Amino acid sequence: MNLRSLIPMRDRSGLTRFEANPFGSLQREIDRLFEDFSRGLPMVATQALMNIVPSVDVAETDKEIEITAEMPGLERKDIEISLEDDMLTIRGEKKIEAEQADKKDKTDKSANNNKNYHLSERSYGVFYRVLQLPPGIDPSTVQATMANGVLKIKIPKPAKAQAKKIEVKEAA
């Protein structure tokens, strides 16, 4: 398993190396500008964005890879999992909860729109989480279960290619 794909990229400005790409310095400058801009954002907005992306644990045994993701407030129907080109994608959507009006208020559609929020820290929206897996995994063997807001994905490791000795014969 390629663990480098799981580690977030950090600023490497302290490292000096020759850049073959003529646009490398421009790319670094644009990245620095975006980092400077994001530092100016309020912490609440940044924290709210992070709340919607699930925390993930990746564990590995001799036979399988197990991915565990916390998804509080989501149900099985809110989650899609796909495997394509050795990339596992977990997609989900946390929808805003619609309150049920009383039976007598059903005709008044504006009954739920009269709230004045003083504080709202809950996050809603669509998220994607993509993890790179070892090559050769059969998508039909992947199993996913969900209980109490915790998604578990078990992925059997592909069989390792066995080295085969090839006999050298006399040319005819």
Where does the pLDDT of residue 82 fall: very low under 50, low under 70, confident under 90, or very high at 90 and above?
very high
Q: 34 is written with which tokens? A: 């975006």
Supply the pLDDT for residue 161. Answer: 75
Q: Is the pLDDT of residue 5 over 80?
A: no
**What is the number of other CB atoms lying within 10 angstroms of the CB of residue 155?**
24
**How confident is the model over 148-159, as a mean pLDDT?**
91
Domain ranges of the chain: 23-52, 54-98+122-158
43 vs 33, more confident? 33
61 vs 18, more confident? 61
**How confident is the model over 141-163, as a mean pLDDT?**
90
Where does the pLDDT of residue 66 fall: very low under 50, low under 70, confident under 90, or very high at 90 and above?
very high
Nearest-5° Cα angle at 105, 103 to 108: 140
**How confident is the model over 77-103, as a mean pLDDT?**
79
**How confident is the model over 106-129, as a mean pLDDT?**
69
**What is the number of other CB atoms lying within 10 angstroms of the CB of residue 133?**
21
**How confident is the model over 49-59, as a mean pLDDT?**
78
CATH number of 54-98+122-158: 2.60.40.790
Q: Which residues contact 19 (CB under 8 A, 6 or more apart)?
A: 25
Q: Is the pLDDT of residue 44 over 60?
A: no
**How confident is the model over 28-35, as a mean pLDDT?**
81
Q: Which residues contact 51 (CB under 8 A, 6 or more apart)?
A: 121, 122, 123
**Mean of all residue pLDDT scores within the chain:** 76
